[in-house]
Structure 1
């Protein structure tokens, strides 16, 4: 049943292999009106209505599995949904795995790749029924850079704060370095800078930061305490 706000029309196209088309008739008694195209491929079309392409794709996938019950194979190898309203547009926030940008026809794929200026390429991976590939993918994975919010402290785009703590302090004797400093990034539970600073102090993560170069005697004393 079409909802009041499902006023946009989209066309589903099924490219069905010759054997699969007759298996559909024999196994399910479902007579799908289709025409035989090139390379012994049956082509069937169906109109669907939704308020946006993302919703149209969602409804199309649900219809595909409900009607054909897997007889036609994987949906990503059989079905495409057109983009008559120009909703698939490349921008900085373009997500390849967004339903709006999946099950694209070759023409739309070519257009979006051109718009991306080399950022996108066609996704030709096999995928599976449970994990279908996208129509396009990024030529190179974009790195999400962390922001420096304070000395030794960075915050990821997701909001996680890390503190670069000294695990092994640098040690010198008679003006020569006999032990190099080793550091590592420690994930903090705090989500704000103020709370993170208190957490660092409470956990003692900054205990070596006031004086990076310490004497051999201090190192030996710490080793005795640990023993």
Structure 2
């Protein structure tokens, strides 16, 4: 009996647990996610790319299992899970971000969305130091409304002159990518990019975990 209890206790301690569902299960070799969760996430090989309203790269559409997963991550993020998703995203854009500055889109609230910074940090780690973090380069200049229930035009107005960027110095004269968890209409990305470009930075585009499908309501 004691040997059985001991083996069960060891199983509880040593069993790998999926960072998405939390169940003890067989973990894939490429991420701390079980095979079933990876299948449900349905991340397309090579991610998604586009050039409107700016150049962007994302893991997958913001829908289904990935959408539910990211919504759970905002209040209580799991750095290991974000790191796994960042590694997958980095594999989709490694050549673009090599030697680049990665700038997370900041929130105006002190306790704002933690995912852009966590994602940018994880992308730097996934690049083995080839990319650098530039979170000090961009800040909010004023409060803005939550974007969730605003249409495209209201989003643009809401974010007009909402960012301030530090002037580009010689040490920062490199390609720069904005980083956010979700790319929706691109209003936030464009407002942030405009502020950085006005300060002399070479903004290439946006990296995100998910892209809202074009046909989805905004």
Going by fraction, where is helix more abundant, 1 or 2?
2
TM-score, normalised with respect to structure 1: 0.26
Give the number of the structure with larger relative contact order, counting CA–CA contacts within 8 Å between residues 6 or more apart. Answer: 2
Q: Which has the larger radius of gyration?
A: 1
Could you tell me the TM-score, scaled by structure 2's length?
Answer: 0.27
